[in-house]
Chain A
Amino acid sequence: MNPYLAGIGLGLVLLAAFVLVGRGLGASGAFNAIIAWAVNLMAPEHARSNEFIAGYLGDGSSSPLKSWLLFEVVGVFAGAMVSGLLAGRAKVTTEKGPRVSVRTRLAMAFAGGVLMAFGAALARGCTSGQALTGGALLNLGSWAFMMMVFAGAYAVAYFVRWQWR
Chain B
Amino acid sequence: MAMMAPLLKYGVFGDEASLVVAFLIGIGFGFFLERAGFGSARKLVSQFYLNDLAVFKVMFTAIVTAMLGVTYLGWLGWLDLSLVYLVPTYLMPQVVGGLILGVGFVVGGYCPGTSVAATATGRVDGLIYVLGIFAGMFAFAELYPLLKGFYLSGSGEAMTLPGTFGLPYGVVVFAVVLMAVGGFYGAGLLEKKFAAAGE
A interface with B by C-beta (< 8 Å): 1, 3-4, 6-25, 27-28, 30-32, 34-36, 39, 50-53, 66, 68-69, 71-85, 87, 89-97, 102, 105-106, 108-157, 160-161, 163-165
Contacts and interface: CB of A to CB of B under 8 A. Distances in A.
Given A78-B30, A80-B39, A123-B97, 9 more contacts: A3-B57, A19-B5, A39-B138, A117-B139, A120-B112, A125-B87, A135-B63, A137-B84, A153-B48
22 contacts: A4-B58, A12-B65, A13-B29, A21-B7, A22-B85, A34-B134, A35-B141, A36-B141, A76-B26, A78-B30, A84-B122, A94-B125, A102-B124, A108-B107, A110-B132, A113-B104, A114-B132, A115-B136, A123-B93, A123-B98, A139-B89, A140-B164
A10 B33 contact: yes
Contacts of A129: 87
Contacts of B105: 112, 116, 127, 149, 152-153
Contacts of A83: 30-32, 34-35
B24 interface: yes
B94 A110 contact: no
B24 to A, nearest CB: 6
Contact of B18 (A52, A68, A112, A131): A68
Nearest to B48: A157
A112 B83 CA distance: 35
B121 A90 contact: yes
Interface string B20-43: 111111111111111111011110
Contact of A164 (B31, B42, B58, B103): B42
Contacts of A122: 93-94, 96-97, 100, 140, 147, 150-151
A113 B79 contact: no
Nearest to B24: A75
A21 B12 CA distance: 10
Interface residues of B, number: 127
A155 B99 CA distance: 9
Contact of A77 (B30, B48, B86, B88): B30
Nearest to B9: A22
A154 B34 contact: no
B113 interface: yes
Nearest to B99: A152
Residue among A91, A117, A160 facing the most chain B CB atoms (10 A cut-off): A117
B58 A7 contact: yes
Nearest to A49: B145
A34 B141 CA distance: 12
Contact of B131 (A72, A78, A90, A110): A110
Interface in B59-98: 59-67, 69-70, 73, 79, 81, 83-91, 93-98
A116 B101 contact: yes
A23 B94 contact: no
B160 A138 contact: yes
Nearest to B138: A35
A13 B22 CA distance: 11
B113 A127 contact: yes
Contacts of B84: 18, 22-24, 137
Nearest to A19: B5
B75 to A, nearest CB: 14
Given A6-B58, A75-B30, A80 B138 contact: no
